[in-house]
Chain A
Amino acid sequence: MNTPAIKELLYKIGDDQLILGHRNSEWTGLGPILEEDIAFCSMAQDKIGQSLAIFSILHELGEPDPDTNAFLRDAKLFKNCQYVEMPIGEFDFSIVRHFLFDNAEAIRFKHLTDSSFIPLANLSKKIKGELKYHTMHANTWIKRLGNGSKESIDRVQKALNDSWTMALGMFEVSPYEAELIQEKIFVGEKVIMQEWYESISATIEGTELSLPDLYSSKPMLGGRQGLHTESLIKLLDEMSEVIRLDPEAEW
């Protein structure tokens, strides 16, 4: 078993989910309407739950226990893409990020159901339904807002344009990419990105919105190698406030 390659893959998936889950949970109590507040935060909770499952697999591979790993790791060791660490902004930015990220995530896990690394294949099968709801939620909102008023169309379009280079950073390749593909652990970022573009295009086509060209801009890279923005440092400080005050605290 190619443990270093698998660990690297798990860290990037788990960190994306943990960080975006935490970010999206910041909408708790602030959602545009009560129903959306509940749905959005509930999905944020799902993401953190899924990251716990990933960190548990990592723990079995000899990494620290999930809480220590999530809360007490240095920012430089986080492998999430920079897109997920960006502040929530306004709802337009957050809903577009949810749309772009969750569609990629669902495709990633769809392929991982065939992974030769069985624990990850099993987890992917298990959370299929959760991810289905998340993308359904995102696509339904984009369809609605993308066919709504001039304001909603303009705002979602702007959020799409502003997000684009960051979103492409989700597909930053791993140093182990070739091995992961060859050993059938993971199909590789190139395939995911291509399918993702087709998938989000299908939703966007039914709206007044347009997608930037896939290769028009340079992706914002570095997150997968531990390069992060100030936003991640602040987020981790906030996330680990309790455990740093009282490492023995149970909650």
Chain B
Amino acid sequence: MNSLDPRINRLSEKGQITSEEKKKSLDQLETYEVFLQKREGQPFRHEGIVHAPDEELAWIFAKEQFSRRQTCTGLWIAKTENIMVSELTENEESVYDLYEEKYCGEGNKYAIFHMLKRGKQHVYAGTVLANDESSAISCAKAQFSDEQVFNIWVVKEENLLISSEEDKDMWLTVPEKTFREAYAYKASDKIKEYKKRNA
């Protein structure tokens, strides 16, 4: 068959082996999860993820990534792989329904984060003492399960990089930095004026 369309002509051609090679690993950094406290007394909330080569730089990046424009009083970092994620439940079912309640008071410290609405960010509920992540959820059930929870994240506290009390001054001037906000430049007013002048 001879067609004017070269793609048709190529249909009968057989593929040839040129070489086989391994898929190359991607040039990516590790990811770290970022939790923010916006105001004193409010719970820490999952805010997003940063790429970084290590935990310390992750904290440094997260600070500007997520708190350069809004009030903030604290920042926690956890390496993504150090977060244990529970089942995700739907409708009326709470993820705590899947676990037995356990009262415990010894072991390691585990921070518990709740997803209170599907699609919403995880919010810090509190810390429990337990021997592993799974039993941490059982212990948390005894302490923090009055609300319906769709998903739980558990992080061993030694794997959380927590901003120190005296570093809170790093955010003191943020509310004054209106030059970071588009509204401060009144761009839409200026465009309106310009249009009016040139109408």
Contact = CB atoms under 8 A, between A and B. Distances in A.
B57 A38 contact: no
B60 interface: yes
Interface bracket on A: 20 to 34
A136 B170 CA distance: 11
B64 interface: yes
A95 B50 CA distance: 20
Interface in B143-181: 167-173, 177, 179-180
Interface stretch (A1-9, A22-30, A125-133, A176-184): A125-133
Nearest to A251: B185
Contacts of B54: 144
Contact of B64 (A38, A140, A141): A38
Interface string A136-155: 11001101100000000000
Contacts of B50: 35
Contact of B60 (A46, A49, A127, A137): A137
Contacts of B167: 129, 132
Contact of B61 (A35, A126, A132, A250): A35
A43 B170 CA distance: 12
Contact of B180 (A36, A45, A126, A141): A45
A245 interface: no
B29 to A, nearest CB: 7
A49 B177 contact: yes
A141 B169 contact: no
A136 B65 contact: no
B192 interface: no
Given A49-B177, A132-B169, A39 B65 contact: yes
B190 to A, nearest CB: 7
Contacts, number: 62
Given A35-B61, A39-B63, A141-B57, A129 B169 contact: yes
Contacts of A126: 172-173
A228 B179 CA distance: 30
B188 to A, nearest CB: 14
A49 B60 CA distance: 20
Nearest to B61: A35
Interface in A110-142: 126-130, 132-133, 136-137, 140-141
A127 B62 CA distance: 20
A158 to B, nearest CB: 21
B51 A140 contact: no
A201 interface: no
Given A35-B64, A132-B169, 15 more contacts: A33-B29, A35-B51, A35-B52, A38-B65, A39-B60, A39-B63, A42-B68, A45-B180, A49-B177, A126-B173, A129-B173, A130-B170, A133-B63, A140-B56, A141-B60
18 contacts: A34-B51, A35-B50, A35-B51, A35-B61, A35-B64, A36-B61, A38-B61, A43-B64, A45-B177, A45-B179, A46-B177, A126-B173, A128-B169, A129-B167, A129-B173, A130-B170, A132-B167, A144-B53
Interface of A: 33-36, 38-39, 42-43, 45-46, 49, 126-130, 132-133, 136-137, 140-141, 143-144, 250-251
